[in-house]
Structure 1
């Protein structure tokens, strides 16, 4: 019964966020300067901060907006844009000035590369160098958090089946395909760095009858209930992993491409105020996997707004002062 109530709460939170996240937003509380810089560090800078429509991006967009406002920038919010291509096009066409992008998305989606790079530092360097040279987009310091694809199951299945790594999942899929039933969104099932690549890298092939194509957001509830699948594709920093007590399998062959978030900014904006880099650097450094999972969970599981979550965290860290 407790898990059922949690699933219902998560669904309601998702609907709520879908309805209220688009368009310009104002911070839940006013913030002033803290450890990120003096109140006039970015005085005279006027920027449009963008972001995608899912929870983590809504939080990151608001964190950035409040941080920049605290040091004197004039900020227009364009949080909640639909899809990676949309927000990237907004950046390259000067409709927004900066937003958080993921190194894996930059490499595969925006730069069109098909060969994954497993080392996070190597990937960041490759993406940053190419995007700056070809598109005049600068990637600021990356976060240690890695919102990559991951495979998860509920705790009961993990303990009953003895599966804690993807190699152990592959062995289960070969031995008992029904017990290894799998849920994923259509995109993951088709991508070379998704399901086809996982099967090739780990040496198994799950029969199609044991796979279910569902919307990405539905996977979490499906895995938590074990219906219609015991395992599924999740994103590593999603707050629902902890909220639903899911177990994330170790990618012991290091197959999945790293997806470290970093602020991407147009070169001309950074040239106008180079201090922007140092203002946002401490925020990037503080965002590890556990922190992002916690921030995302406050929205998805606890029903808080991204604006309030951002204010609370920035204040707790001393990055800004409330009021």
Structure 2
């Protein structure tokens, strides 16, 4: 599980990086040199004269979102330093907290569970965002409005197999596991298989009866391939915004009992940056309002399936939506 791995990485390989972030400032980065001008956002150049740093974690979706923030800032008149693609969640988070970076897109579930130490998610997405925002103010972090982009967990199934089983929800999987235990085979990552907030908790919450012999553990990329082949994995652990869902024509099942946290993407800012440049909300709120889970799947596929550069994907989307224009 990507989020679980990044949390664990914070306690091991990221320690040296964290020391550099908190003690000496970030060491990498390059200026954004794009010739972009305002479209529907950034008119009047409200960030003219500002020098801002954007950051992100090191997976495709978050890099694309970080590039969007930087390009919007650039179009609004700011000089922008690009420090996206930091390893793990904690390094990017610390950059925002310490003021070594000014803005990034973060996920509400990651903040609520990993950073703020809560054991149980809040079912209502808006209530979870509000709780995260309130708790982070004391950390010097300000959250702007969230998107409906929800990069949470689900189970995926091939369309060919689903033509036979007609599964729509995780409750449907539980019913099938009881009616025909031999039919349900499940492929998951190692951590998801052992964590209480992963497979064991999901099975308990839904009353699933999947024999241990029908659960296979493998790397995430292999899961998508095996599920799409409709062979050894009837179902597989997936991320709801993964571009391979569309590319491999998979269906995802609804978490109808809201077991998994909501991982809605929203901009988080170093609070002093927001105090100095409150116009940032007017720049990023329209962007977040347009970001959906399906949009994320499409953009992620351009990077992970088509092999395009995240910066180019971000720029093309912003231009296509009219947020910025190329100069």
TM-score range, shorter chain: 0.7 to 0.9
| C-alpha contact 2:103 2:267 (8 A) present in aligned 1 | yes
* Equivalent in 249, 260, 263 of residue 264 of structure 2: 260
* Equivalent in 194, 197, 203 of residue 199 of structure 1: 203
| C-alpha contact 2:32 2:74 (8 A) present in aligned 1 | no
Give TM-score scaled by structure 2 length. Answer: 0.86
* Equivalent in 25, 32, 39 of residue 37 of structure 2: 32
> More deviation in 24-33 or 275-284?
24-33
Unaligned 5+ runs, structure 1: 1-22
Unaligned 5+ runs, structure 2: 1-27
Q: Secondary structure at the match of 2:167?
A: coil
Paired position in structure 2 for 1:311: 315
> More deviation in 300-309 or 61-70?
300-309
Cα 1:74–1:191 change in 2 (3 A) is farther
* Equivalent in 209, 212, 217 of residue 216 of structure 2: 212
Query: In structure 1, what is the Cα distance between the partners aligned to 2:221 and 2:69?
Result: 25
Q: Secondary structure at the match of 2:156?
A: strand
| C-alpha contact 2:32 2:81 (8 A) present in aligned 1 | no
Give TM-score scaled by structure 1 length. Answer: 0.87
Paired position in structure 2 for 1:117: 122
Q: Secondary structure at the match of 2:273?
A: helix
Cα 1:226–1:24 change in 2 (3 A) is farther
> More deviation in 89-98 or 43-52?
89-98
| C-alpha contact 2:69 2:103 (8 A) present in aligned 1 | no
**Structure 1 residue 51, shift from structure 2 partner:** 0.7
Query: In structure 1, what is the Cα distance between the partners aligned to 2:221 and 2:57?
Result: 15
Does 1:47 pair with 2:84?
no
Query: In structure 1, what is the Cα distance between the partners aligned to 2:195 and 2:240?
Result: 18
Matches within 5 A, 1:113-262: 113-133=118-138, 135-262=139-266
Q: Secondary structure at the match of 2:197?
A: coil
Root mean square deviation, CA, Å: 1.8
Query: In structure 1, what is the Cα distance between the partners aligned to 2:124 and 2:182?
Result: 34
Matches within 5 A, 1:48-87: 48-87=53-92
**What is the aligned residue count?**
300
Query: In structure 2, what is the Cα distance between the partners aligned to 1:25 and 1:241?
Result: 33
